[in-house]
Amino acid sequence: MRELVYFDSKNPHCKSPFGSVEQGEEMTFKIFVKDGVYVHSVELHIYEDGADNPFVFVMSFNCKRGDESEYIAKISLNKVGLYWYRFLFRTENGEYQHRRDGDDFQLTVYDKNYVTPDWVKGGVIYHIFVDRFCKGKDSNAVFNKSGVLKDWGEEVTIVDPDGVFRANDFYGGNFQGIIDKLPYLKKLGVTILYLSPIFKSSSNHRYDTGDYEFVDELLGDESKFQELLQKSESIGIRVMLDGVFNHTGADSKYFNKFGNYPTIGAYQSKQSPYYDWFDFYNFPDEYHCWWGITVTPTISQRAKLFRDMISGEGGIIDKWTRLGVKGWRLDVVDELREDFVEDIREAVKRNGDDNLLIGEVWEDASNKIAYSYRRHYFQGKQLDGVMNYPFKESTLAYAMGGRAGDFANTVMTIVENYPKQSLDVTMNLIDSHDTARALSVLSGVDMSGTDKEYRKNFRLSKEGYDFAKRRLIMASTLQFMLPGVPSIFYGDEQGMEGYEDPLCRRCLDWDNIDRELLAHYTKLGKIRNKFKEQVCGDTSFENQNNLLVLCRKNRNKTLKVVANNTNLTQSFYCPKAKQELLSGQKLQGDSFEIAPNSVKIFL
């Protein structure tokens, strides 16, 4: 009977409103049945997540059009949560359940009071790995760590002579360097600076926090950080910090494995005030740590005093947010207890309702299961948005020759599952400090079977670079025009290469900039700023030839992003096109050619 029934949850004619709804909002469901079988009744069955018994809504026969009968139900759900639904037909031939390819359809119902910061929407994020972005002159930025302070641009260390990677080669990127480059960032269209961890630490990445109360001395002092906050705010750029609250460093005031802090750490004594912050299997050398990495002991789920220090009144969130930080990105948020995430949200928002809270989630965050528990990030009490890794993977896959239909399906599934206020503040990345550089991935060079030493020394040929750059221009254009906020990983706009960390974390070479690529990213920033209503508007796709056609619409204006990832020129029909935005060209006519491996934006 499947071929006789039509229901598409992404079609507003079948379900209205499209996508997630707020609690109590009325929804209209319509399902269409072709002649060929006698239908006794149609029911809409909606299951609350985890429940065995559904809410049953009888659908009414509404009308008949040609050889098709329409059944309708108008319902509302007053309880916030994740739901699943299907349709049950009772026919002359028995019962038939209509689902989506064997799975139930998803429905997200969020709190009616759930809002996200408007200032974020339509903006541009710039992600800075602070040690490698820019080194400014600051006498208060001092190097007093074990390890080595290298010259700017010297090659990164992938392993020490004893075979261990310690992440203790430093280059001295600092707050003053970011301040020096604020005019550059403003011209690029940046509205949010996302800084990798800045708190005192023994590593160059600083994901092994030593002391949450102090910025790392190599970056400068607290007054210099405050200067960065004030100067960036004055030109319309806000700062978001990395909150690493699942684990600390073994070299920290809390654990103090190496005795570098004056406090008595958990590793040193069971009498330490921090002892019950950590879980020991065999004190002191066997303890729970993140992914088995001993330099990052994991905070115990029972550690209430740690949670109070982070999110309680006068705690770490309060200190830095009151100084001027406007957002936090929660590292490995799926490893935090949900009530802790709720406490963090409360702390972030009590310092300003428009402060931003983002989580690191690599999957669809609306239905994420972590450690056997369903997460509830987008129902009103936890996150504003997440890092949008599903968009990342689909964007790169399409730019490398993937099918337009697959790209559209991934995008529209996320658009359907996320509340729009969450979707509009998600971080749309195509690479990060945790992944290979987009340019290197898009080159298509097969690195399987190579070792890290080979990948460290590998550089693209001029022909390979130019090919990868064409793909990057396509991928970045999609990244900037998809719903959410594009996040540029420092140096992508200048053509940086590199594979897995630390190869993706090299110093930015300010003396050798790809001006063409930089101009492209600058243009994208200007387009987002000028057409903010459209990039925060509705999202849809059109089918034309072998093209990907992404439509962003608000009011009377539509932007059509047209990408051609084939090796053949394709024709695009658009009778109302007035201008091509990337080139600035005024248009006449109704049909246009899209060159191979290229992208255009039509107004």
Tell me the average pLDDT across 257-284: 97
Q: Would you give the DSSP letter of residue 68?
A: E
Q: What is the pLDDT of residues 197-239, one digit of tens each?
A: 999 999 999 999 999 999 999 999 999 999 999 999 999 999 9
CA atoms within 13 A on the CB side of 94: 3
**Distance, CA of 246 to CA of 542 (rounded, Å):** 43
Tell me the average pLDDT across 441-451: 97
**Distance, CA of 158 to CA of 170 (rounded, Å):** 13
Per-residue pLDDT band for 2 (boundaries 50, 70, 90) equals confident
Q: What is the pLDDT of residues 546-568, one digit of tens each?
A: 899 999 999 889 999 999 999 99
Among 533, 456, 518, residue whose Cα is nearest residue 488: 518
Cα 146 to the center of its chain, rounded Å: 34
AA identity, residue 108 = T
What Cα–Cα distance (Å) separates residue 290 from each residue in 208, 233, 295, 331, 457? 10, 35, 9, 12, 30
Among 67, 87, 110, give the residue marking a domain's end. 110
Tracing tokens 């989580």 back to the chain, one arrives at 359
Whether residue 142 lies inside any domain: the answer is: no
**Distance, CA of 157 to CA of 506 (rounded, Å):** 10
Whether residue 158 lies inside any domain: the answer is: no
Among 110, 125, 148, give the residue marking a domain's end. 110
Among 188, 278, 285, 305, residue whose Cα is nearest residue 235: 188
Tracing tokens 């009968």 back to the chain, one arrives at 69
CATH number, domain with residue 568 = 2.60.40.1180
* Amino acid 3: pLDDT: 84
Whether this model's pTM surpasses 0.75: yes
Q: Which two tokens stand for residue 74?
A: 């108008």
**Distance, CA of 478 to CA of 473 (rounded, Å):** 9
**Is the peptide bond prior to 273 cis by the omega test (within 30 degrees of 0)?**
no
Q: What is the pLDDT of residues 67-78, one digit of tens each?
A: 999 999 999 999
Per-residue pLDDT band for 65 (boundaries 50, 70, 90) equals confident
Whether residue 177 lies inside any domain: the answer is: no
| SS3 at position 399 | helix
Whether residue 277 lies inside any domain: the answer is: yes
Please answer whether residues 117 and 388 qualify as being in contact, where contact means their C-beta atoms are separated by less than 8 angstroms: no
Radius of gyration of the chain (CA): 26
What Cα–Cα distance (Å) separates residue 565 from each residue in 240, 408, 475? 35, 14, 10
Element (H, E) at 389: helix 389-399
Q: Tally the domains of the chain.
A: 3
Please answer whether residues 59 and 72 qualify as being in contact, where contact means their C-beta atoms are separated by less than 8 angstroms: yes
Among 289, 295, 365, 298, residue whose Cα is nearest residue 334: 365
Please answer whether residues 242 and 329 qualify as being in contact, where contact means their C-beta atoms are separated by less than 8 angstroms: yes
Please answer whether residues 250 and 295 qualify as being in contact, where contact means their C-beta atoms are separated by less than 8 angstroms: yes
Whether residue 501 lies inside any domain: the answer is: no
Q: Which two tokens stand for residue 406?
A: 């697959």
Is residue 102 scored above 90 in pLDDT? no
Whether residue 395 lies inside any domain: the answer is: no
* Amino acid 33: pLDDT: 95
Q: What is the pLDDT of residues 165-178, one digit of tens each?
A: 999 999 999 999 99
AA identity, residue 516 = E
**Distance, CA of 347 to CA of 317 (rounded, Å):** 6
Q: Which two tokens stand for residue 476?
A: 């970045």
What Cα–Cα distance (Å) separates residue 318 from each residue in 222, 238, 306, 486? 15, 17, 14, 27
Per-residue pLDDT band for 403 (boundaries 50, 70, 90) equals very high
**Distance, CA of 495 to CA of 519 (rounded, Å):** 12
Whether residue 87 lies inside any domain: the answer is: yes
Among 92, 110, 128, give the residue marking a domain's end. 110
Q: The domain containing residue 551 runs over which residues?
A: 534-602
> DSSP of 70-126, one letter per residue?
EEEEEE---S-EEEEEEEEEEETTEEEEE-BTTBPEEEEEE-TT----GGGTT--EE
Q: Would you give the DSSP letter of residue 130?
A: G
Tracing tokens 């405050």 back to the chain, one arrives at 226
Whether residue 180 lies inside any domain: the answer is: no
**Distance, CA of 485 to CA of 480 (rounded, Å):** 7
What Cα–Cα distance (Å) separates residue 559 from each residue in 483, 484, 584? 12, 15, 14
Q: Which two tokens stand for residue 208?
A: 């092994």
